[in-house]
Amino acid sequence: MIVAVLLGVFLGLVWFSLRYAWWRPALDYRYPRILMYHMIATPRPGARFNGLRVSPQRFERQLRWLSARGWRSFTMSELLARAGTLPEKAFAITLDDGYADNLLQALPLLKKYRCKATLYLVVDRFDRDWSTQRKKYHDEGELKGEAKLSDQQVRELLESGCVELGSHSMTHANFLCIESAAVRWELEESRRELEKRFAVSVSSFAYPFGLYRPEQVELVKQAGYSSAVTTREGIENADSWQPLELRRIKISGKDSWLAFLLRMRGGRRGWR
Ligand SMILES: [Zn+2]
């Protein structure tokens, strides 16, 4: 019995060490951290997508820690414009999809800690169950049922001065499953529509599901975007990054506090 417990603890430590590489030195703090969030909401018992729900309490703890430790917040366009002259400990908060809690829960905390965020908004986001576009069996309607930001709520976010607008496509399509012409439409039409509807310029894109084919990167550029974020986990060196395929740090509602600290620290294999 005791042997089994010790073995369990040992295997747990091995798993944790391999996953977070805590023994490696922290990744250079001149490399900005781009944080990926979706909902700022309390996880629901038994729900499939709780990884996408970071509770407001947890979000506040993260912002408090970042500001106390001297991290400085930027929007994605600021990050791009200042590449090469960024201070140490620069970070960008990104919010994908356009959930109503981004206004109701996240904005008050962004204001409190003087942080900025980039909202990657799906134009046609109401009554859509985009999780089925990735996996057909994800058909419980869980994300479809989540309240999305109305256009008026998006305006409130933008008027706060804390939030920049980016595109997350027209319909949250899976780029691996559609033709080039459709990809082009998702890219160009969403940018045009967002700029018209909200009277702001839109220069950054987030690939739906983080899925795309290598040749589609050129289409993102042709559509007029100067940066694009993926869901690949990692930290970029702004001197040598590929601005249309930026990696991010996934902030999951399922992670422990220690996991958050280790993700910010970086140093995992393949993250450079
Ligand atoms: Zn998304």
Q: How far is the CA of 135 from the centre of ligand 1 (A)?
A: 14
Q: How far is the CA of 119 from the centre of ligand 1 (A)?
A: 11
Average pLDDT over residues 30-45: 96
- Model pLDDT for residues 189-248, shown as the tens digit of each residue: 999 999 999 999 999 999 999 999 999 999 999 999 999 999 999 999 999 999 999 999
Q: How far is the CA of 65 from the centre of ligand 1 (A)?
A: 26
Q: How far is the CA of 241 from the centre of ligand 1 (A)?
A: 22
Q: Which residues sit with Cβ closer than 5 angstroms to ligand 1, an ion? A: 96-97
Burial 128-140 (b: 16+ CB within 10 A, else e): eebbbbeeeebee
pLDDT at 92: 98
Q: How far is the CA of 142 from the centre of ligand 1 (A)?
A: 14
Look at residue 150 and give its three-state secondary structure. Answer: coil
| DSSP H/E element including 163 | strand 163-167
pLDDT at 127: 80
Rounded CA-CA distance 31/90 in Å is: 7
Backbone angles phi, psi at 177, to 5 degrees: -110, 5
Confidence of residue 270 (pLDDT cuts 50, 70, 90): low
Q: How far is the CA of 38 from the centre of ligand 1 (A)?
A: 8
pLDDT at 132: 67
Q: How far is the CA of 120 from the centre of ligand 1 (A)?
A: 8
Q: How far is the CA of 75 from the centre of ligand 1 (A)?
A: 18
Look at residue 247 and give its three-state secondary structure. Answer: strand
Confidence of residue 16 (pLDDT cuts 50, 70, 90): confident
Dihedral angle, C-alpha 197, 203, 204, 207, nearest 10 °? 70
- Model pLDDT for residues 60-72, shown as the tens digit of each residue: 999 999 999 999 9
pLDDT at 25: 79
Residues contacting residue 247 through CB under 8 Å, at least 6 positions apart: 34, 230, 232, 233, 234, 235, 236, 271
Average pLDDT over residues 71-93: 96
Asked if the model's pLDDT at residue 160 lies above 80, the reply is: yes
Q: How far is the CA of 213 from the centre of ligand 1 (A)?
A: 17
179: tokens are 């033709």
Look at residue 91 and give its three-state secondary structure. Answer: strand
Average pLDDT over residues 148-156: 97
% residues pLDDT > 90 (the chain): 81
**DSSP classification of residue 145:** T
Asked if the model's pLDDT at residue 100 lies above 80, the reply is: yes
Confidence of residue 269 (pLDDT cuts 50, 70, 90): low
Backbone angles phi, psi at 40, to 5 degrees: -105, 90
Q: How far is the CA of 187 from the centre of ligand 1 (A)?
A: 14
Q: How far is the CA of 39 from the centre of ligand 1 (A)?
A: 11
Rounded CA-CA distance 254/272 in Å is: 25
Q: How far is the CA of 154 from the centre of ligand 1 (A)?
A: 16
Q: How far is the CA of 121 from the centre of ligand 1 (A)?
A: 8
Q: How far is the CA of 37 from the centre of ligand 1 (A)?
A: 10
pLDDT at 139: 63
Q: How far is the CA of 215 from the centre of ligand 1 (A)?
A: 21
Residues contacting residue 211 through CB under 8 Å, at least 6 positions apart: 134, 174, 175, 176
Cβ(265)–Cβ(27) below 8 Å = yes
Q: How far is the CA of 4 from the centre of ligand 1 (A)?
A: 42
Asked if the model's pLDDT at residue 40 lies above 80, the reply is: yes
Q: How far is the CA of 131 from the centre of ligand 1 (A)?
A: 9
pLDDT at 130: 76
Residues contacting residue 202 through CB under 8 Å, at least 6 positions apart: 165, 166, 167, 191, 194, 195, 225
How many other C-beta atoms are found inside a 10 Å radius of the C-beta of residue 123? Answer: 20
